[in-house]
Amino acid sequence: MFSGAEPGAEGGRYRNKLGNTQSGMRILFIGDIVGSPGRQIVHDRLADILAQRQIDLVIANGENAASGFGITPRLADELLGMGIDVLTGGNHSWDRKEILDYMPHQPRLLRPGNFPEGTPGLGSFTGTAKNGVKYAVLNLQGRVFLTPIDDPFRKADAELAQLPADVAFVLVDIHAETTSEKIAMGWYLDGRVTAVVGTHTHVTTADERVLPQGTAYLTDVGMTGPHGGVIGMDREAIIKRFLDGLPARFEVASGDVQMNCVLIETDDAGERNAAGRLRARHIERLCFRIE
């Protein structure tokens, strides 16, 4: 299950040279949760996954939780109550206006940090995971084929410079359209954060790896929701839109509900990265389906 586990591994926990049980921190990141099918599979499966895989921290992208467009205060509360520690966002974060007043009151619901000054909410959260490790989550949005907001690269620099020194684990959700912008961000932050994962395209990429300086990377985690349509929405309306180009109302699709995630394990016993954060030891894509 964990190819990085050393000999003598006990369910992924392993013993260090002193014979003490050394736990690599395990983080689950859940790709964009789309509509009620996406919320339902998280509700039905997450508790078992967390117990079976001894997960210390759960982060999920929730920008499509409300019928595919945005997230409401009630749905944010619901998802945060299911065992998700931090919800990230993206270009759809703003689709439901009622979320604007809620964001400042719920620091565990992020929106991309590189929206201009004065935008409601925050792009980063610092907390303590179940295993006692202090962590930070940073949410950024790309600019290629998306709204030309502030530079996500320089915003990453600014956010990382402000993190307290005792933050051991840092994950970045880069919400972007193009593979190139996300891969560039992965290289830009290699050795400075523990993980960079991509969201937004709703299609899983097969390029997970640990970069040379210890940063786990995946271009897109994929979607948590129905795969019987087009990136989560009903395929008939989308096909019609491609055929006639007319405005249309999109509904959430049905069928082949999947929960696409990535599991990252840290190397707690090894050297820290150049920025003093935990290095990633292993990254693995996971897909759970409703049969």
Give the active site residues.
92
- Distance separating alpha carbons of residues 87 and 110, to the nearest angstrom: 6
In angstroms, give the least distance from the CB of 260 to Fe ion: 12
In angstroms, give the least distance from the CB of 220 to Fe ion: 10
In the complex with Fe ion, the residue whose CB is nearer, 94 or 288, is 94
In angstroms, give the least distance from the CB of 91 to Fe ion: 4
Q: How many CA atoms lie within 13 A of 244 on its CB side?
A: 8
Residue 212 neighbours by CB distance under 10 Å? 9
- Distance separating alpha carbons of residues 61 and 92, to the nearest angstrom: 11
- Distance separating alpha carbons of residues 54 and 63, to the nearest angstrom: 26
Residue 279 neighbours by CB distance under 10 Å? 20
In angstroms, give the least distance from the CB of 89 to Fe ion: 8
Site residues (CB under 5 A) for Fe ion? 32, 63-64, 90-91, 200
Q: Is 267 left (phi over 0), alpha (psi -120 to 50) or beta?
A: beta
- Distance separating alpha carbons of residues 1 and 11, to the nearest angstrom: 9
In the complex with Fe ion, the residue whose CB is nearer, 186 or 225, is 225
In the complex with Fe ion, the residue whose CB is nearer, 200 or 277, is 200
In angstroms, give the least distance from the CB of 167 to Fe ion: 26
Asked if residues 173 and 140 have their Cβ atoms less than 8 Å apart, the reply is yes
- Distance separating alpha carbons of residues 243 and 181, to the nearest angstrom: 30
Strand pairing partners for 84?
none
In the complex with Fe ion, the residue whose CB is nearer, 64 or 194, is 64
In angstroms, give the least distance from the CB of 179 to Fe ion: 15
Which phi and psi angles does 141 have, rounded to 5°?
A: -125, 135
Tokens of 141: 């949005």
Label the pairing between strands 195-199 and 169-175: parallel
- Distance separating alpha carbons of residues 237 and 74, to the nearest angstrom: 28
Tokens of 155: 């915003």
- Distance separating alpha carbons of residues 181 and 162, to the nearest angstrom: 24
